[in-house]
Amino acid sequence: MTTSVERFRAPDMTAALLRVREELGQDAQIIGTRTYEPTGIRRLWERPYVEVFAGRGRAAEEQAAARGAAATAVRSGGPPTPGGSEFEAWLAGRISRLEPRSLALVGPTGGGKTTTIAKLAARYALDRGERVGLITTDTYRIGAVHHLQTYAEIMGLPWRVAQDPPAMREAVAALAYCDRLLIDTSGRNFRRDDARRELMALLSAASPESVEFVLSLTTGREEMEELWSYFKNGPATRLLLTKLDEASSVQKLVMALQHIDLPIFAVTNGQMVPDDIWFPTAQQLAQAVAREAVSGNA
């Protein structure tokens, strides 16, 4: 068999599919996708990317059959129409399943960062028996430290407050023995430069392996784009979408993925700790969108 399958690398699935279509035309057949995310210090010089393996027409189909994968036709370069297997392939390229040792949650006020930290802590500590340490930077509001502290004490987890970079370095060192480190940050008005600078300084002191951009699905499209504009040149590596239960439609989630160029890590769907968190697969997301379309809820 001729090697007819080519590799297309791009920052996201939409761009990769566009290139596939430009170069291979209407006959393009996708046989697989892969997502790469740099971890640790590599994030300083490497960007995440997706790879799409695709070929033209029958040759690609044969190669796909040899690999046991079903070839998927690419009909459009942008996010494919919800419902088909192309849509699922697109979603697959936008999901990150990595579970790094240290995670920081950042994002606008009230998005659900602290609640989500508690859900993640329960998942790692209670479900898996890991040693989980918590750090909060949130010293701006009365009660904010208490918020995280309450969860930490209920679960019996070590926790620290870090209001500046030296305190952050100290906290990270003190919790170095933990299997998992979860860092909560203050929701601020990130339209302000000083708020962004302070967050950056705290994050570089903490040097977490992943930085989750926490965004509520009750946010309107324009506001979502605006908020993202403050973070897109920053350290965020993944997207954590909250309040799916309050969103008008699952389409809000698809919209967020179209506008924010980060892979999704988790979705939260309620206020209950620890249950209301979801780590969806592409198939589950595609099914949720399809179900909603069928029930006329879209």
Ligand X SMILES: Nc1nc2c(ncn2[C@@H]2O[C@H](COP(=O)(O)OP(=O)(O)OP(=O)(O)O)[C@@H](O)[C@H]2O)c(=O)[nH]1
Q: Choose one: 74-82, 152-160, 193-201, 263-271; the region binding ligand X (CB under 6 A).
A: 263-271
Where does residue 166 rank: exposed (0-12), middle (13-18), buried (19+ CB within 10 A)? exposed
The DSSP element (H or E) to which 275 belongs, if any, is: none
The answer to whether residue 137 forms part of the interface with ligand X (CB under 6 A) is no
Question: What are residue 54's DSSP bridge partners?
Answer: 6, 30
Q: At what angle do helices 251-259 and 221-231 cross, to 10 degrees?
A: 40
Please report how close the Cβ of residue 187 comes to Mg ion at its closest, in angstroms: 6
The answer to whether residue 275 forms part of the interface with ligand X (CB under 6 A) is no
Q: Choose one: 22-30, 53-61, 197-205, 264-272; the region binding ligand X (CB under 6 A).
A: 264-272
Please report how close the Cβ of residue 144 comes to ligand X at its closest, in angstroms: 6
User: Toward ligand X, which CB reaches closer, 20 or 106?
Assistant: 106
Q: Which residue is nearest to ligand X (CB)?
A: 187
**Number of residues that make up the chain:** 298
User: Toward ligand X, which CB reaches closer, 189 or 283?
Assistant: 189
**Max CA separation in the chain (angstroms):** 68
Residues from 182 through 241 that contact ligand X (CB under 6 A)? 186-187
Q: How many residues bind ligand X (CB under 6 A)?
A: 20
How many angstroms separate the CA atoms of 288 and 121, rounded? 26
Please report how close the Cβ of residue 118 comes to ligand X at its closest, in angstroms: 8
Sign of the CA dihedral with 285 first, then 254, 96, and 236 last: negative
Both ends of the chain: CA-CA distance in Å?
A: 45
Kind of pairing between the strands at 238-242 and 264-268: parallel
How many angstroms separate the CA atoms of 186 and 182, rounded? 13
Please report how close the Cβ of residue 110 comes to ligand X at its closest, in angstroms: 5
- Which position among 26, 39, 76, 109 is part of the footprint of ligand X (CB under 6 A)? 109
User: Toward ligand X, which CB reaches closer, 76 or 248?
Assistant: 248
- Full strand arrangement of the beta sheet holding 6-10: 6-10, 49-56, 28-36, 72-73
Residues from 140 through 179 that contact ligand X (CB under 6 A)? 144
The answer to whether residue 114 forms part of the interface with Mg ion (CB under 5 A) is yes
Site for ligand X, rule CB under 6 A: 109-115, 138, 144, 186-187, 242-243, 245-246, 268-271, 276
Site for Mg ion, rule CB under 5 A: 113-114
